[in-house]
Amino acid sequence: MGLFGCKKEIWLVVGLGNCEDKYARTRHNSGFSAVDALAAKLGLTFNRKKCASLLAEGRHGDKKLVLAKPQTYMNASGTAVSGLVSFYKVPLDHVVVICDDVDLLEGALRIREKGGPGTHNGMRDVVLCLGGEGFPRVRIGVGTPPPGWDLADYVLGNFTSDMSAVFDAAADAALCLVDEGAAKAQQKFNRKG
């Protein structure tokens, strides 16, 4: 039947970002960086394309995981995410979205079981295309722009410090959401920068 042909529990973990190489190390690509860290932890490779996304598929315990990096650019992420949800028949509460957040201090993590998109246009498109807010998310703090900076220029700028430990923690938080639920993930990972 194939890896996803049987009826085991399935989870979709999506990192939001922009698909061109020039955006790879930017604040706005924190979601991509976190799912890359998660793929590395699980020994998975992004080697498949489906629903305008790069995918890494595999198992985690008794669960099946699909890790995704939408290739639609940030503000149109919802099209890719809703396509994947439909294709894999993933319940909304089994969709984990990881993204950057300018309303959090750099390095902070916030796990939420559900909720609105805040000021994030990519998350807004995901909520719109999924038709609801009932999916868990991991927000990675990237700090607020200095006075006089344009928000787009700031989020499309590179980090000035090494964020690899934060991306690793975000990957662990996503796995904790999958394994233990939102309350436990919040207890373990919600922290200040």
Condensed to tens digits (0 to 9), the pLDDT of residues 29-77 reads 999 999 999 999 999 999 999 999 999 999 998 999 999 999 998 999 9
In a domain, 82, yes or no: yes
Q: Which domain holds residue 170?
A: 10-189
The pair of structure tokens assigned to 119 is: 């000021």
pLDDT tens sequence across 122-139: 899 999 999 999 999 999
In a domain, 99, yes or no: yes
The pair of structure tokens assigned to 118 is: 């805040």
| Dist CA 11 CA 73 (whole Å) | 22
In a domain, 156, yes or no: yes
Catalytic residues: 28
| Dist CA 9 CA 152 (whole Å) | 38
- CATH code of residue 40: 3.40.50.1470
Domain tally, the chain = 1
In a domain, 2, yes or no: no
